[in-house]
């Protein structure tokens, strides 16, 4: 976690997402961090929070071997990618991964997958158009089904779009701050009557 993300609750929650790991060596029960007091056998598949999996994946044993390997989470697997290719706006990111983009970008350095960045970018661009269209129209009825499927990043963008639209409307319909035209004819006639 970067220093600028240290107090960011969304970053903390994204790093708490579970990720599948395969232990390459036996783990004694006293070292098992899951707290269940069981040994972990070599080649066991365990889902761990990302923050823990990242540290374990980067750790090297004295002989230079890795302790665990990390697999791509289901939220970024073939099934979800095929669905995103078919119709990006139909995916319910709330169900798939509430922090789909934020967690996905954290996977870049940890998992070798050349297609992941392109998948995230393509999904983001396609869904952003729909999010902005709905937020700028100001209609709460239009796209309600789609709005229920947003991840946390998309929700923030939707709120920003709505706030921007509301501020623009306020500015357009301002009453007190509107400039009022000055009648120069009235001023000239009142000054000529004084002289």
Same domain (yes/no): 68, 94: no
Same domain (yes/no): 92, 141: yes
Is 70 in contact with 19 (CB distance < 8 Å)? yes
pLDDT mean over 118-141: 86
Domain assignment present for residue 126? The answer is: yes
- Which residues 6+ apart lie within 8 Å of 88 measured at CB? 122, 123, 126, 127
Same domain (yes/no): 49, 93: no
Helix (H, G, I), strand (E, B) or coil at 146: helix
Domain assignment present for residue 192? The answer is: no
Helix (H, G, I), strand (E, B) or coil at 68: strand
Is 71 in contact with 52 (CB distance < 8 Å)? no
Same domain (yes/no): 147, 159: yes
At CA 14, angle to CA 11 and CA 15, rounded to 5?
A: 90
Domain assignment present for residue 11? The answer is: no
Same domain (yes/no): 115, 168: yes
Domain assignment present for residue 191? The answer is: no
pTM of the model: 0.75
In the block, tokens 């069981």 appear at: 38
Domain span at 88: 73-172
CA atoms of 186 and 195, how far apart (whole Å): 15
Q: How confident is the model at residue 191 (pLDDT cuts 50, 70, 90)?
A: low
Same domain (yes/no): 98, 156: yes
Condensed to tens digits (0 to 9), the pLDDT of residues 152-171 reads 999 999 999 989 888 888 88
Same domain (yes/no): 66, 77: no
Q: How confident is the model at residue 61 (pLDDT cuts 50, 70, 90)?
A: confident
Domain count, the chain: 2
């Amino acid at each position: 976690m970067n220093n600028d993300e240290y107090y960011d609750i969304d970053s903390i929650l994204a790093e708490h997402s579970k990720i599948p790991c395969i232990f390459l060596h036996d783990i004694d029960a006293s070292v098992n961090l899951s707290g269940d007091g069981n040994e972990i056998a070599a080649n066991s598949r365990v889902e761990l929070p990302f923050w823990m999996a990242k540290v374990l994946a980067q750790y090297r044993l004295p002989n230079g071997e890795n302790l665990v390997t990390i697999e791509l989470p289901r939220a970024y697997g073939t099934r979800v990618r095929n669905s995103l290719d078919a119709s990006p706006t139909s995916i319910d990111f709330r169900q798939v991964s509430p922090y789909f983009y934020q967690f996905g970008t954290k996977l870049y350095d940890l998992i070798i997958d050349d297609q992941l960045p392109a998948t995230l970018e393509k999904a983001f661009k396609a869904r952003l158009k729909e999010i902005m269209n709905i937020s700028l129209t100001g209609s709460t009825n239009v796209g309600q089904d789609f709005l229920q499927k947003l991840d946390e990043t998309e929700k923030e963008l939707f709120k920003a779009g709505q706030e921007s639209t509301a501020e623009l409307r306020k500015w357009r319909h301002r009453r007190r701050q509107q400039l009022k035209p000055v009648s120069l004819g009235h001023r000239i006639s009142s000054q000529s009557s004084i002289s």
